[in-house]
Each structure stands twice: as structure tokens, then as C-alpha cells.
Amino acid sequence: MSVLPIVLWPDPRLTETCVPVAEITPEIEKLATDMLETMYDAPGRGLAAPQVGVMQRIFVMDTGWKEGKSDPIVCINPMLQEVSEERQTNSEGCLSIPGVSADISRPAQVQMVWTGLNGGRYVQSFDGFAAACVQHELDHLDGVVTFDHLDAENRAALMTEYAAQ
């Protein structure tokens, strides 16, 4: 296992759409293990492959580990199946945009389907912070970052804040 370097904004890889993972290989298994170690080291609750420079549709998350309820998930080729009409706003940070957080409004509940490292197909519903985390990591796979969710004024202010660090 190893901690990988995290790609920082404005690296252009963070704006690219990732390609599907064709098959689960030992390299994908090692990537997932390294991504989990990197996420915990950062310390974050989610990490998508483009954030470590790999342009494939895979992300890892563990929304409860900081509260002592660790439940790591490796999501390969994830897709949302359902999203609620109800919305919630969360303050979201991003490991690729350190030191900046923004209030982002997203669906409060989502149902996601993905392939696990064992090749099995998983379907799970997420709500609250976990729903926001899932959507944030999926955004990365589609080349979307936190700034893209903001109106022009808030985007400019946060980009200035980020640049001043």
C-alpha cells in the first residue's frame, strides 16, 4: 500500500470525464487499496481516481471513519439509479481544492449501483452526508468540481480565496 499524490485544482485532469473500468485486475485492486490509504491519510471521506491522476471510473469512500464507524466502500463504474426531489445543502470540502469549502445543494437521497472489487454488483441507497459524498465523488468522475456548482459571484470569491493560500 502507498499514499498517492493528490492532484490539485486547476489541474486539467480534474475537468475530464473518466473512462469505465474494463475489468478488475490486480492493478485496479492495488489502486483501490492505495486510494483508501491516501484518503485516510489526507484525511478525507471520499476520493475519486482522477484526484490521484487515474482517469478511470472508480472512487472510494468511508463517511463514518472519523466517528469510529469505518465502512470503506470501493465503487467501480458507479451510476445513480434514483435521486430524490428533496434537496439538502452541505458544506463540502475537496481534497483537490484544500482549504476551501462551499455550500452545495444536492438531492438529499440517492440510490447508486456499482461493481465491487469482488466483481459483484451492488445497489445501495444513501442519505444525508453519505448522499452528498457519493454525488461529490461521482462529479469527479464526470470532470465536475465544487466550483462548478456555484454561481459566478461565489465561484469568483472562492477561487480568489483558494489562489491566496
Q: Which pLDDT does position 1 carry in this prediction?
A: 76
CA distance 17 to 95: 18
CA distance 65 to 104: 22
Burial class of residue 20 in the structure, from the number of CB atoms within 10 Å of its CB (0-12 exposed, 13-18 middle, 19+ buried): exposed
pLDDT along the chain (165 residues), means of 10: 95 98 98 98 97 98 94 98 97 96 97 98 97 98 96 94 90
Global pTM reads: 0.96
Size of the chain in residues: 165
Q: Supply the residues annotated as catalytic.
A: 137
Q: Which pLDDT does position 126 carry in this prediction?
A: 98
Q: Which pLDDT does position 103 carry in this prediction?
A: 96
Grid cell, residue 62, equals 468511508
Q: Which pLDDT does position 49 carry in this prediction?
A: 98
Sign of CA dihedral 68, 7, 138, 49: negative
Contact 20, 57 (CB under 8 A): yes
**160 φ/ψ angles, rounded to the nearest 5 degrees:** -65, -45
Count of alpha carbons within 13 Å of 129, Cβ hemisphere only?
12
Structural domains present in the chain = 12-163 (3.90.45.10)
Grid cell, residue 16, equals 475530464
